[in-house]
Amino acid sequence: MDPLNTQHGMPESEAAAEARRLIDAWAARPVRHHPTSFRDETEPPAFGTTPPVKQEDHRIVPAWAAGIAVASIGAGAGITGMGCGVWLVLQGLASVTLNSVLMVTLPFACLAMLATAIGGAISKARAVITTNVFQAPVTHHTEVHNTTSTRGAFFARTRNEIR
C-alpha cells in the first residue's frame, strides 16, 4: 500500500474546488482595521489665561527608602574603591624582586644608621661620671599582711589585700 498515492476522503478535483471556495469566502470578508494610536490635530494655543493646574505629588518611593538607597550606593562605591586600591597594592607586591625591595628600603636604612650614629655620639658626649657615696646605714623593712576573703558560691570572687 502506497500512502503517497492512495486517496483518502474526497477526490483531488473536489478538494481543489473546496479549497478555492474557502479562500474566496475568506477574501470576500471586509478587513477590520484597529487603530493603534491617536493623534490630536488641533493646534495648541500660543498663550492663554488659564492658570497652571496643581499636579499632585505621588511619589512611589518614600523619602527614607530613597535615602537608604543613596547611602547604600555610596557605601558600595566606597568599598569598590577600597577593593581597587587593595588590588593595586597586591599587584605591586606580587611583582616584588630583591632589587626593588633593597632600593625601597635603602633610604630608610640610611636614615636609621645616621640616627643611631648621632644618638651614640650625643650619648657619649653627655656621659658624666657620678659617684654615689652614702654616709648612713641603709635598712630595708618590709611587712606583709595578707587578708583573703571569698564571696559567692557559683561565681566566687576572691580578694587578696596585701598591705
Amino acid 30: pLDDT: 85
The strand pairing partners of 157, in sequence order, are 151
Q: State how far the Cα of 161 lies from the Cα of 145, in Å rounded to an integer.
A: 8
Q: State how far the Cα of 136 lies from the Cα of 139, in Å rounded to an integer.
A: 10
Give the largest Cα separation in the chain, rounded.
149
> pTM of the prediction?
0.26
User: pLDDT confidence of 6, banded at 50, 70, 90?
Assistant: low
Average pLDDT over the chain, rounded to an integer: 81
User: pLDDT confidence of 4, banded at 50, 70, 90?
Assistant: low
Mean pLDDT, range 63-78, rounded to an integer: 91
Amino acid 162: pLDDT: 67
Residue 20 pLDDT > 90: yes
Q: State how far the Cα of 8 lies from the Cα of 26, in Å rounded to an integer.
A: 25
Is the distance from CB of 162 to CB of 144 less than 8 angstroms? yes
What radius of gyration, in Å, describes the C-alpha atoms of the chain?
Answer: 50
Is the distance from CB of 69 to CB of 63 less than 8 angstroms? no
Amino acid 77: pLDDT: 92
